[in-house]
Structure formats: C-alpha cells, structure tokens
Amino acid sequence: MSNQNIYDNQIFFDGYKKLRSNPSAANDIVEKPALFSLSPNLQNKSILDIGCGYGENCVEFIKMGASSVTGLDISVKMLEVAENENTSPNIKYINKSMTDLNEIAEKYDVIFSSLAVHYIEDFDKLIKDVYNLLNQGGYFIFSQEHPLTTALLTQNYWTCNEENERIHYNLTTYALEGERKVTWIVDGVIKYHRTMSSIINSLSNAGFIINKMLEPIPSKEIMNQYPSYKRYIHKPDFLLIKAKK
Amino acid sequence: MSNQNIYDNQIFFDGYKKLRSNPSAANDIVEKPALFSLSPNLQNKSILDIGCGYGENCVEFIKMGASSVTGLDISVKMLEVAENENTSPNIKYINKSMTDLNEIAEKYDVIFSSLAVHYIEDFDKLIKDVYNLLNQGGYFIFSQEHPLTTALLTQNYWTCNEENERIHYNLTTYALEGERKVTWIVDGVIKYHRTMSSIINSLSNAGFIINKMLEPIPSKEIMNQYPSYKRYIHKPDFLLIKAKK
C-alpha cells in the first residue's frame, strides 16, 4: 500500500495534532533545525515541499525569500489546516500522493521533504521522479526516520535498567528491507525500511550527487532539560540528506 | 596514536596470521567479494593499495589487468610476508603509514583500501590526501569496520537467548565519535569510531562523488553452512564505499 493516507483517519489526525502541539517534540527540537540547516539560499527560488502536512515549512520557505512554494500532501485534512493556518499569495497547496510526482509538469529549484519518504514503497521511483522535477543544479533535501529506527520488526526498541534509563538500543533485522507495520497513534501504520546503502545507491543511481548527510542529536542543554533525549547518544532518530542534481 | 603499528607486535602478528588462514573468515566470505564487486575495469590502470598487509589483493589487481600496483603498509612484518608470497614485476611494496600519504609524489587511477581506515584518527586528512593522489576521474574504493561495530565503548555486542543465538545487537554510543580501545587478538588495539554521516561528509567535503555504498551480508547458503553468520541479518560488519574524483 504505497499511497497510504493515514492522516485522513480522524483518530490519527486528532492524535497527530496533539502530538505536534507538544513544544518538546523531536520534530521541532531535532529534525526541523537540521532540515533548515541544509537549505541553500532560497532567494527567488521555486520550492516544492513533498508531504507538506500543515504547511508550516512552506511559510518558512517564503520567509526565507522563496518566490513560490508548492505544498503537496495526500491528506485532505492536513491541507485544510494548511489552507487555514499557513497561507501566502505565493504558496499553492496540491492534494496529491507522492507516488504521482510524475504527473507534475513544473520544475523546481529546491525540493524539500520532511519525514515523509519512509511511507513510500518504491523509493527508486520517488527519487527518479524528484530528479526529473528539479532544475539542473537544484537540490533535494529530505529527512526521514533513521534506518536504525525503521529496521525493527517489533517495537521492542530499548533495554532499560532498573531506573528505567535506556542502556542500549536493541537493533534487529537491519538487513531485512521492506514493510514495517507499527503502532503510532493508531495500529497498523505502514512504513518501509531501507538500509543506508540502499538509500545512498538510489540517489546515486538517479544521478544525484550526495552533498551532505546529517544524523542530528539534540544539544547538551536539551538533553539536560529533557533527559529522555539522552537516547540520541546511542541512536539517532532521523536521517537527513542534501543531494544535488 | 594515529600511526599505531599493532601488526609488528609478534603476538598480534601470529594471532592475525592464524585468524586469516581460517577459510570461513568474514574477510574472505563477506568483505573481499564486496570490495572486488566495486572495482572498475583495471586494464592498464595504476593502483595504490593502502594498508595492503600480505599483498593478497595487490596480486589480484595485477590479475585483473592493472599495469602497476603499489602496496603500502606500516608493518615491516606484513610486508615481509608480501615480498615472499605475493610478488610480481609490477608490484612495489612501500613501508609507510597511511598518515604520510602526502609524502607520495605519484598519482594513481584507482586507490583501494581494505579494512584499514578505522585505525586512522584524522579521517579528513586521509581523505584529502587520497583525493590528491588520484588522477581526475579516478576512484577510491575502501572497506572499513561498520560504524555500528565501531560505535560501542565496551565489547558487549550481542544479547543472546538460552540457546546462545543472537537475538539483538546492543547498540550504544553511536553518536559519540572518537577513540575505541578494543581487545582483538591482543589488548588495547585502538580504532576510531565515526558515524555514517561523518564519513559521507568527509568524502563530499574533499570533492568526492559518492558512487556506491555497500553493507554486505553473506548468502543464505553461507548462513546455513556457518550459522553464526545469521547475525548479519541484524547488523552488518562492514561498510564499503566507492567514490569518484
């Protein structure tokens, strides 16, 4: 099921909205700063945001000087929030699955995607489609769940000590690529595990030059403020890549 | 200690020789085929092999058509074996640390390095030196211990069940780069842990284009023949990268 639209499930949507409103969410503290740190100068650039969700990043790209932003998402409910909360004359939202990027006729200078590509079964197709949508010299900048997270078939992630501190990450089935059914807000959310080498080779085979990779961890201050973030010492949660056409 | 020469320690040398003579050694079954799978056509190419050890790969490069091979190793004892067992009119062995690559005046078409770079503290310097030693369009192809192996500060690698089967890899301190003191044949062997992103960024910053990455695992037949190799399902032991200048 490569065009899964879990975000239009009401229970999921409500749970997700609550999760994202938490000011200490890993997305805000770890993933988002890393994603923006990879951005080139966006002045007068045309941007595509794949899996834009609420459109929060789309508004940021406009603030950073982008001349136009297209936000694409499979979920009607997510785009309703985007149209209400994150509008601009230069932002256009499109309801479309990222499996159908080949239907888009425009070209873009920079394509972003935040925490969406691990929902896609056919990564090679996605990467080729993104490559075709970029102007020459353009960048694809994406984040995804780290392969060390997606690797596991069960959610038996950590071994803890008696004080309930995480002492090691229980890594299993890293080499076994494919579907993972996980419980995240609701049961049966489907993700796809790919190894680091598989991700790198898809990008390289499509013609991309790997410019930079990040496996971000929070600052010491954040770890002291939210001790559960000390887990990042052992295992990153996110993988980010900046690739050039 | 970035130019550690553990291979000239007699106890280590004897232990290593015994280990490598095991026909089911992971080097021979997993790492070496992966390394050679990354090789471009070597016909009439000049080759440098960094950390050549016994020179076994040097002889292979000549068989594959290379016009000249330079094998470089820090260990006099290793090169004595190479000079006795793996000679050819077109192979030259040089006793030199890979920290001193900048002293070499020649240029090469392809530079190989098998399981050596994790002994080097200053990876950025190594990669820049390798880049400078390559002809334009040349390749650097190397293998190293996988960052998931080098990550750990202790050698408490696996959690096993009562039948002594490995059920998960105990991943710790992946984000903590730097020195690792391990027991391998002798005590106090020093390696350096770097994350995947750190390795990729050193290559990219030096000007390399990442062409291919491998995290090889043995075939099902090998896993059935040697059940301990089933551990590769959970965690790769080797990382290989082919990068182009």
Q: Mind listing the pLDDT tens digit for each residue in B145-192?
A: 999 999 999 888 999 999 888 999 999 999 999 999 988 777 888 999
What's the CA gap between A13 and A119, in Å, rounded? 16
Task: Confirm whether the ipTM is greater than 0.90.
Answer: yes
The pLDDT-based confidence of A2 (bands split at 50, 70, 90) is very low
DSSP E strands, A42-102: 46-50, 68-73, 91-95
> Does B2 score more than 50 pLDDT?
no
Model confidence over A152-195: pLDDT tens digits? 998 889 999 998 889 999 999 999 999 999 887 778 889 999 99
Residue A84 · residue A105 · CB < 8 Å? no
Q: List, in order, residues 6 or more apart from B2 with CB less than 8 Å away.
A: B99, B120, B121, B122
Q: Which of A78, A69, A146 is nearest to A108 (CA)?
A: A69
Instruction: Show which residues on chain A lie within 8 Å of chain B, measured between beta carbons.
Output: 148, 156, 159, 167-176, 195-197, 200-201, 204, 209-215, 217, 232-236, 239
Model confidence over B62-72: pLDDT tens digits? 999 999 999 99
Token pair for B142:
């190397």
H-helix segments, chain B: 10-20, 26, 32-37, 56-63, 76-85, 123-133, 147-150, 196-206, 220-225
Contacts of B169 in chain A (CB under 8 A): 170-172
Proportion of chain B above pLDDT 70, given as a percent: 98
- Mean predicted lDDT score pLDDT of chain B: 93
**Residue in chain A nearest B237 by alpha carbon:** A175
H-helix segments, chain A: 10-20, 26, 32-37, 56-63, 76-85, 123-133, 147-150, 196-206, 220-225
Report pLDDT for B3: 57
- Using alpha carbons, list the distances in angstroms from residue A105 to A69, A102, A108, A124: 15, 8, 10, 20
Q: List, in order, residues 6 or more apart from B37 with CB less than 8 Å away.
A: B214
Beta-carbon separation of B212 and A235 below 8 A? no
- Three-class secondary structure of residue B25 per DSSP: coil
Beta-carbon separation of B173 and A234 below 8 A? yes
Proportion of chain A above pLDDT 70, given as a percent: 98
Residue A202 · residue A183 · CB < 8 Å? no
Beta-carbon separation of A172 and B211 below 8 A? no
Beta strand A209-214 with A186-193 is: unpaired
First to last CA, chain B: 29
First to last CA, chain A: 29
Report pLDDT for B62: 98
CA distance A143 to chain B (A): 13
Beta-carbon separation of A174 and B210 below 8 A? no
Residue B208 · residue B243 · CB < 8 Å? yes
- Three-class secondary structure of residue A152 per DSSP: coil
Residue A82 · residue A52 · CB < 8 Å? yes
Place of tokens 């090469």: B108
Report pLDDT for A3: 56
Q: Which of A153, A226, A229 is nearest to A192 (CA)?
A: A153
Contacts of A168 in chain B (CB under 8 A): 156, 170-172
The pLDDT-based confidence of A10 (bands split at 50, 70, 90) is confident
Q: List, in order, residues 6 or more apart from B7 with CB less than 8 Å away.
A: B13, B16, B53, B73, B74, B75, B77, B78
CB pairs under 8 A between A and B: 101
Q: What burial class does residue B227 get, using C-beta atoms within 10 Å of its C-beta: 0-12 exposed, 13-18 middle, 19+ buried?
A: exposed
> Does A16 score more than 80 pLDDT?
no
What's the CA gap between B108 and B62, in Å, rounded? 14
Domains and CATH numbers, chain B: 6-146+195-244 (3.40.50.150)
The pLDDT-based confidence of B10 (bands split at 50, 70, 90) is confident
Report pLDDT for B141: 98
Q: Provide the greatest CA pair distance for chain A.
A: 57
C-alpha neighbours within 13 Å on the C-beta side of residue A212: 16
Residue type at B241?
Answer: I
Report pLDDT for B1: 38
What's the CA gap between A152 and A145, in Å, rounded? 12
